[in-house]
Homo-oligomer: A and B are copies of this chain.
Amino acid sequence: MLTRRKLGTSALLAALGFAARAETQTGESANVHEHGHDMSNMPASWHGDEQIVFLGYQGMTALDLIGPQYMLANLMGATVKVAAKSLDPIMTDTGITLVPDVTFEDAVKDPDVLCIPGGTLGTLDAMRDGATMEFVRQSGANAGYVTSVCTGTLLLGQAGLIDGYRVTSHWITRPMMEQFGAIPVNERVVVDRNRITGAGVTAGIDFGLMLLARMRDDDYAKGVQLLAEYDPQPPFDAGTPEKAPAHLTELLEGMFAVLGASVSESAAYR
């Protein structure tokens, strides 16, 4: 089977990361030439060595992770891993199966970035899982940036990592942040000291780009935005409870009517 590195060097969407590996791995210098990747205009300051860890867990939402992971995987020189309780395949809530890269034991304990994706009952289960919460607590205590997307904030809250912080979350769970001592903010991405939280699902893409600019510079983030052709043109303007037709907001609120109670129950496991 092809190795990650072999594919990494040939990916349009990991092109910047490829450039980095090409600069740092003599064995691949030939490939650079072969594939015609011209690094001559690449500032040395664009290369780093960050350790980035995403939490993986059963029932998580794939897009919560894959959106920002795409952006961070294009950080030249960075190492990006999905850490989970075991190396068992992770069944996500839309049916996509992901395989974690490392167990909690083998993951770096002081990552430059810790990112927690969301989910629903899978996230509630994770809130009650001792090993998972211990990993989030330890890694979060030592991480450079402590971040989440969507309902991932529930796990940051359960780990005591957002007490006293301004945070956002999926619009359904945003009001629930108060029980973790956090200050819910109705914004798509919220930065408070080294905590960076994204709103529901797709906010992870905007969050990822913002993080790239902080970890490199604006030009770097713009380059990855261009690589991702991120020029969003939603066919509708219904992406928030304020903008969506009231009957649709009420429908979704009804579908998750008891989620708040379930969150409080799980929070009691702290």
Contacts and interface: CB of A to CB of B under 8 A. Distances in A.
Given A12-B256, A231-B188, A226 B202 contact: no
A55 to B, nearest CB: 14
Interface string A148-175: 0011000000000000000000111000
Given A63-B13, A70-B201, A98-B96, A232 B228 contact: no
Contacts of A59: 2, 7, 10-11
B95 A97 contact: no
Contacts of A238: 222-223, 225-226
A120 interface: yes
Contacts of A150: 12-13, 229
Contacts of A257: 36-38
| Chain A residues touching B, range | 35 or more
Interface in A115-130: 118-123
Given A222-B245, A257-B36, A11 B228 contact: no
Interface of A: 1-4, 7-19, 35-42, 58-59, 61-67, 69-70, 73-74, 80, 82, 88-89, 91-99, 101, 118-123, 150-151, 170-172, 188-189, 199-203, 205-206, 209-210, 213, 218-219, 221-223, 225-241, 243-245, 247-252, 254-259, 262
